[in-house]
Each structure stands twice: as C-alpha cells, then as structure tokens.
Structure 1
Amino acid sequence: MRISVLYSGEFGKKVLGNLINSDQFCTSCGEACDHCRQGRKSYSGFLTEIHELPADLPEFVEEPEEYLPADLKPCDLLLAMDLHPDLFASLPTVAKKAHAKALIAPVENPKLAPAGLVRQVAEKLQNEEVEYAFPKPFCSLEKTGQPVIDRFVEMGFGKPKVEIILDNEEITTARVIKDAPCGCTWFVARKLVYTEAADFKETVSSAHHAYPCTASMDNDPEIGDTILHKAGYIIRESVDSALDKAQKENANDR
C-alpha cells in the first residue's frame, strides 16, 4: 500500500516514527530500554511522500494551496494529521490530486477539526468516492468496511489490543497485538511487565501520560470530555480486557 503523509507538529512525528520503527524512535525507557520493538515490522517502504506543514500559521489562511504540496505522487492512502483548519478543509482537493483511494485524518485537537468542518470534508470526499475516516482520537480507529482503511488497520494500527500472561496475579508478559498509531501501546505494555494485575489502572495511566499522549486537553463537545481522556480510557479498557482473558485462562488451567 502506498501511503502519503501530511502533518504538522509532534503527533505526526510520533505516528511517522512508529510506522518507520527506527531504532531511535522510542526512547521513553531511556537507559532501561530492552529493545522490545526490534521484532516489529517497519513500514517505511510503504511511504510514498512525507510533507511536514507549518504549524504557526495565521488564524485565517486565505490561500491554503500556498502551504500545501503542489504535486503529490499517486497514493492509496493519504494520512493527514493536525493540520490548520483551512488546510484541513482543502483535503478533498489534495486527495483528488494524489488520486488517493482513502483519507485518514485523525482528530486529536477539536480546535483544528471542529465537527462541522469534519462533516463538510466528509461530504466532499463521499462525492468523490474517496474512503474516509476521522477517528477521535487516532487510537479509536477500527475496521470500517472500507477496503483501504481496513488494510491500514490490518497492518496493526488503530484501537490497541494486547495479550497478557499472568503468574498468579503478576503480569509476566504483555504483547502488543495492535498498536495505537502513535506507538504508545508498546510503552504501556512494557511498563505493565512485572507489575500486579490489581494495580493495572494506575500503571496504565502513568505510562500513558509519561509516553506522552499528545492528544488535546481541551474539552470536546462531541464526546463530552477531552480527547486525551478518551485515549486513556481506550488503552485502559484494552488492558482490562486482556487481563480478564488471562485470568479466565488461568482459572481453567487449575
């Protein structure tokens, strides 16, 4: 799959780093790093183009094309992250120029992609028969029934899924089955190892903030909470589900 990326800011850098999976990407464990990500596949060969767009733009951008790439190579998936609202509004035009079959534009900051603007962009993409998803946050992405977007999810990115092995009530193994696109799931999984299952909520919350999650702390009227909090709930529910499964398996083995 050919993926072109447009992004502004730190979140896009994290997603790119996770896709590429270079040995310098995750430094969250510092000197305690045990290179847990070494066996994970790199998708650098899937990346057709990468464009970092300016984040310090004026409140209103009258000519967004001045800041967008003039030409884009054909791609299957256009990934757009944390763009200025006026650049976000131009995404259907960008997708058309790139002959993109699908667009994923995660909403990590409600000020950059308010609900009304997202609906307008979605309508234009639908008219152009371009697949689209606007996950809020990116780690809420699941299969949509749209082939190209589902292929991205099948690559192992979207709503986190982990597998846990318990020794009594101690977590001895935490494997990442599906990773949050920013890479946070690997860090959370690493921090869970050799902790008590009963303490998982505190462990997950601490790791999620320490990674750190860069989603907005502004209240989002559509979800009635902050996007950062929603991301925290998602990874906590994923770990809770994995623990429940591990505990049931242990009970059946007795």
Structure 2
Amino acid sequence: MIKIAIVTDGPYGERAYATIKPEFETEFIVLEPPEGTFADEVDIPEEELTKIKDADLVITYILHPDLTLDLVDAIHPEVDWIIVGAWRGEGFKNQLLSYGNVTCPENMCDLTENGNPTFDQFVAKFGRPVVRISCQGDKVVDIEVERCSPCGSTQFVAEELKGESTDNLPIKAGLKIQHYPCRAPKMRLFTDDECKKELAANFHKDAFQEALEDEK
C-alpha cells in the first residue's frame, strides 16, 4: 500500500486527511509559513522533511508560494508524485510542473489517471467523482461511491441523495456540493471563486448523470 503525506501551513487539508486515511497509510504534517516575504526566510524543519520524504505521494495544501516551491524542490527526487492542491498563477504552476512529477489540478475533484503507478493507485480511490446508483422505479435506494473527491464531498452528496427521486438527480448532486460546503473557492486556484464552485458542482453532476445512464 502506498504512503501518503498531506502537508499544510494553514486551515486546509484536515478533510482530505480524514477522507484518505481509511484507504491509505496517511501522515498529516503542519508546517509554519514564513513570516517574511522573501524566499530565503523559508525554513522546513528536518524532522518534518524526513516524514514527508518517506511518503510515496505528497499532497500539499500550502498557501505560501515560497514554502510550496521550497518543499517541492526538496522532496521531488525522493517521492513518486506530488499533488499541489493550492497554487495561483500560470507562471507559478509552470514552475512547479517543470519538476516532472508534480500535478497542479485546477480542482482536486478533477484528478484522473496519468500513467504513474503511485499516482494512479491513489486516483483509483480519490479524484474525479465516480458513483454507482441503484434504483427501484424512480427512487434511489443506494449510491455507492467508487471514487470520492479527496475532501469527502462525494460521500456527503451520496448520503444526502439516498431515497430521493431520480428526477433531476444530477442537478441535485451539483447543488448539494454547495451545502458541504465546498472549500475549492478558498484554495486560491482562480481569481473567480464562483468558477471553482461551478467546477466542483459540475464534476458531481456529471458523475451522477453517468451513473443514472449506466443504471438504466
């Protein structure tokens, strides 16, 4: 089984840790963000760095760009894959992608296989939502989550929609994301917060639409 390290410098990552831990050996590591504005003030304690390097796959929810870049630079030769869950700006994204084993998703609900065995093993369980729906007539009797968003919102939506009518079920799934609530707008991926909400909602809407079509 692969080992996961989730790294944060603030309030994000706890939901992912709670969601991922039952499936994979997972470490949750909190780093202190730099107090200054210059990259030479970044300090990653050796003890935490060793724990992070021991993982096969690292997910960062670090908001400070210098800390993100220094961490990726330090660990990329030691780990199989890195998912940067919080980033801003195409230039910064391209700088991170240049390391080769880094993914910077526009939304954590949009992770799909890329051919790397470690990454694909993770994404088999977490990423773009996949559900299976069982119905009796027009009533939903069960929803099995085959691939959950890393934050756990897919499981939340599935539980909320059991017993519902199949009428407009995909639309209901998208709307339920707003009640989780989705934290994508706070991850600083875009300048348009509504765009991120809509992305997460649409991924779930599509997943439930496909599941309904497969159930027929």
TM superposition score normalised by structure 2: 0.85
Partner of 2:141: 172
C-alpha separation between the residues in 2 aligned to 1:65 and 1:189? 41
RMSD of aligned residue pairs (Cα, Å):
2.5
Q: Would the alpha carbon gap of residues 82 and 226 (structure 1) be closer, same or farther in structure 2, given more than 3 Å must change?
A: farther
1:91 and 1:121 in contact (8 A); partners too: no
Question: 1:74-93 maps to which residues of 2 (within 5 A)?
Answer: 74-93=54-73
1:8 and 1:82 in contact (8 A); partners too: yes
1:149 aligns with 2:125: no
Percent pairwise identity: 23
Partner of 1:62: 39
Q: Would the alpha carbon gap of residues 234 and 3 (structure 1) be closer, same or farther in structure 2, given more than 3 Å must change?
A: same
1:158 and 1:180 in contact (8 A); partners too: yes
1:15 aligns with 2:16: yes
C-alpha separation between the residues in 2 aligned to 1:175 and 1:54? 38
Partner of 2:107: 137
Partner of 1:117: 92
Q: Would the alpha carbon gap of residues 159 and 64 (structure 1) be closer, same or farther in structure 2, given more than 3 Å must change?
A: farther
1:35-67 Cα deviation digits (max 9, x unpaired): xxxxxxx146x22x4321346x6682433532x
C-alpha separation between the residues in 2 aligned to 1:244 and 1:59? 53
C-alpha separation between the residues in 1 aligned to 2:88 and 2:11? 17
Segments of 5+ residues of structure 1 without an aligned counterpart are: 21-41, 249-254
Partner of 1:26: none
Amino acid at match of 1:119: N
C-alpha separation between the residues in 2 aligned to 1:135 and 1:145? 16
1:53 and 1:83 in contact (8 A); partners too: no
Segments of 5+ residues of structure 2 without an aligned counterpart are: none
Per the TM alignment, residue 168 of structure 1 is displaced from its structure 2 partner at its CA by 1.4
Partner of 1:252: none
1:58-81 Cα deviation digits (max 9, x unpaired): 682433532x33332322112111
Q: Would the alpha carbon gap of residues 96 and 245 (structure 1) be closer, same or farther in structure 2, given more than 3 Å must change?
A: closer
1:162 and 1:174 in contact (8 A); partners too: yes
C-alpha separation between the residues in 2 aligned to 1:64 and 1:147? 35
C-alpha separation between the residues in 1 aligned to 2:167 and 2:73? 50
Q: Would the alpha carbon gap of residues 11 and 198 (structure 1) be closer, same or farther in structure 2, given more than 3 Å must change?
A: farther
Q: How many residues align?
A: 210
1:78 and 1:95 in contact (8 A); partners too: no
1:138-172 Cα deviation digits (max 9, x unpaired): 11000001122112112x11111000111111111
Per the TM alignment, residue 230 of structure 1 is displaced from its structure 2 partner at its CA by 0.6
1:187-240 Cα deviation digits (max 9, x unpaired): 10011111111132442133211111101177837x996222111110111011
1:4 aligns with 2:20: no
Amino acid at match of 2:45: P
